[in-house]
Amino acid sequence: MSIVLVPLVAAAVFLLADSSPPPPVDQVVLLPNADGSTGKLIVRSSAGEQVLATPYASAQSTHRGELQTSVADAASVSARYGQALGAQPSRPVSFTLYFVSGSADQLTPASSATLEQIKASLSQRAVPEILVIGHTDRVGKLEANDSLSVQRAESVKKLLLAAGIAAGSMEVSGRGEREPLVPTADEIAEERNRRVEINIR
Partner 1 sequence: MKRKTTFLNACALLTFSLVWQSSSLAADAATAAGTIKTSRGTAQIERQGAKLPADVGSAVNVNDRIITGADGAVGITLRDNTLLSAGPNSTLDLNKFAFNTTTHAGELNASVKRGTLAVVSGKIAKTSPENVSFNTPTISLGVRGTEFVIDAGKGVE
Among 25, 71, 79, 166, binds partner 1 (CB under 8 A): 25
Q: In what order do the strands lie in the sheet with 196-200?
A: 93-97, 196-200, 129-135, 169-176
Q: How far apart are CA 96 and CA 156, in angstroms?
A: 11
**How far from 155 is each of 90, 134, 181, CA to CA, in Å?**
27, 10, 20
**Cβ 14 to partner 1 shortest distance, Å:** 21
Size of the site for partner 1 (CB under 8 A): 57
Among 1, 3, 16, 34, binds partner 1 (CB under 8 A): 34
**186 lies in the binding site for partner 1 (CB under 8 A):** no
**145 lies in the binding site for partner 1 (CB under 8 A):** no
**144 lies in the binding site for partner 1 (CB under 8 A):** no
**141 lies in the binding site for partner 1 (CB under 8 A):** no
Left (φ > 0), alpha (ψ -120 to 50) or beta: where does 187 sit?
A: left
Binding map of partner 1 across residues 152-171, x = CB under 8 A, - = no contact: ----------------x--x
Among 111, 130, 176, 194, binds partner 1 (CB under 8 A): 176
Binding map of partner 1 across residues 117-136, x = CB under 8 A, - = no contact: --------xxx-x-x-x---
**177 lies in the binding site for partner 1 (CB under 8 A):** no
Q: Cα 47 to chain center, whole Å?
A: 29
Among 4, 84, 120, 185, binds partner 1 (CB under 8 A): 84
> 89: buried, middle or exposed (CB in 10 Å: 19+, 13-18, 0-12)?
exposed
- Count of alpha carbons within 13 angstroms of residue 186, beta-carbon side: 4
Q: How far apart are CA 116 and CA 135, in angstroms?
A: 22
**Cβ 5 to partner 1 shortest distance, Å:** 36
**Cβ 53 to partner 1 shortest distance, Å:** 9
Backbone angles phi, psi at 129, to 5 degrees: -125, 140
R_g (Cα) of the chain, nearest Å: 28
Contact positions vs partner 1 (CB under 8 A): 24-34, 38-46, 52, 59, 61-63, 65, 67, 77, 80-92, 125-127, 129, 131, 133, 146, 168, 171, 173-176, 178, 199, 201
